[in-house]
Structure 1
């Protein structure tokens, strides 16, 4: 029997306005500005709960001049969720803004694509343009978690539980994966950085930081196949997500919205 999940976007950070040319390859430099929000996502089922990504660590956020509104752990606590209770975390990819708070989740195991681990520890990291978006300490932390039997590897598409699956897309990084979740309104896809903004999907434009631009475009088609409609696709960094969906409760307005 396929489970139904409640799905929440928790905003934990922000980045100031950028011109369209900074956000989209080929974007008009006269167009903009565009803003970025940083999220983690919580999927709550009848029997299991999954957290998707773990966000920027405060020290990295400060060094990279990102505004940290609250840590993901604090966001969960505002929802009444103890971070220590989280047992399954899906890492969509290992860029610094998705994998920075390992210490906040002491009892979790991490679901990761084989190809992402190979990418972050192999020859591609000799290219400064690619490794700029990774933190060596966080890559090493994932390696330590492997040795601690806390990593579950996936090679392509995989069902983690009835009603929740991961799907390898690549493109933005070699091992980027999205998450497909069954909800009361249908199949929702947490696209993460397969599409940073709604505009990337609508205009089929590519965020300038990528591993394979053709795979990025193919990823747009794949998430559309996996979701029940375009309105069921949740981009990874669009501030409009907080406008398009209702707050979990009045006291969490502007912090947590419900996507299901």
Structure 2
């Protein structure tokens, strides 16, 4: 049991269900090659011939286990079979700074998994022994959707006892009722699982959006402080003070523009005067000649 209440296998299965999709293959506790080769807690491949993106996930439920793995460098053995290694931990177990450089970190929060740090992905070609292992031993061990399985043997035994006690017709009716109850229970379980998955996705999306809003608000606040400093206004100034300063700067800009126009007009007048002077001097010289 971890410091946060998770068991290792439960955490790995929960992560595998989170990662499973129609575009991704997921294995748990799958040995990648012959005896003695690495066995990541969760291993994924994208359903793509050109970009399978093999990824190994290492689940940790205690700080001591995490430190043992990170200090010994055990995770580096996965790099032969995976382009990225990601540590998966319950919330509060560690910080991103405690994860080895280049590795990713995904955290199990109360409602959903959340990627905290991306892994540095390298190109890797799967060895032939790993491909054969996944093909021969792993095809039937991929993680599929969670579907409740009824206990058929127990139901058959119950039906047999009903037939013996009440007769065939009553037994058939009881069987139909039991089948209907079983179908309803399975449907409820599927519905509940779908709602839970939707709740986790909504919570994760809400958390992401709130983080973006907080980030944008912090950036806006920083820009506002820079603008106020550039305008020469105290931080504690009111909105009225800011508007008044903007009006003053605008008036100053308008005054500068008027001065510039007057200077241009004066320069034009001086050029005209010089031209007229030269013309007059020319006429004077002609008359004197």
TM-score bucket of the superposed structures, by smaller chain = under 0.3
Name the structure with the higher helix share: 2
TM-score of the pair, normalised by structure 2: 0.23
* Greater strand proportion: 1
Greater relative contact order (CA < 8 Å, ≥ 6 in sequence): 1
